[in-house]
Amino acid sequence: MSTGLGREARLRELGLWPLWRLRRSPTAEVPSAAEAGAPASIAHEAPAADDIAGLGWEDLMVAVRACTRCPLSASRTQGVPGVGDRAAEWLFIGEAPGGDEDRQGEPFVGQSGKLLDAMLAGIGLQRERNVYIANIVKSRPPGNRDPNPDEVAACLPYLERQIDLIQPRLIVVLGRIAAQTLLVTDTPIGKLRGHVHQYRGVPMVVTYHPAYLLRSPADKAKSWEDLLLARRTLAALKSGAAA
Note down pLDDT in tens along the chain; length 243 residues: 444 455 555 545 555 454 443 333 333 333 433 344 444 333 435 788 889 999 999 999 999 999 999 999 999 999 999 999 999 999 999 999 999 999 999 999 989 999 999 999 999 999 989 999 999 999 999 998 999 999 999 999 999 999 999 999 999 999 999 999 999 999 999 999 999 999 999 999 999 999 999 999 999 999 999 999 999 999 999 888 765
Q: How far is CA 33 from CA 30, 62, 63, 202, in A?
A: 9, 11, 11, 36
Examine residue 44 and state whether it is found in any structural domain, yes or no. yes
Examine residue 132 and state whether it is found in any structural domain, yes or no. yes
The answer to whether the beta carbons of residues 230 and 125 sit under 8 Å apart is no
Examine residue 233 and state whether it is found in any structural domain, yes or no. yes
Examine residue 28 and state whether it is found in any structural domain, yes or no. no
Range of the domain at 181: 7-22+33-242
CATH number of 38's domain: 3.40.470.10
Number of domains in the chain: 1
Examine residue 56 and state whether it is found in any structural domain, yes or no. yes
Examine residue 150 and state whether it is found in any structural domain, yes or no. yes
Examine residue 90 and state whether it is found in any structural domain, yes or no. yes
Residues 6+ apart with CB under 8 A from 207: 172, 173, 174, 193, 222, 223, 226, 227, 230
Q: Is 167 left (phi over 0), alpha (psi -120 to 50) or beta?
A: left
Examine residue 27 and state whether it is found in any structural domain, yes or no. no
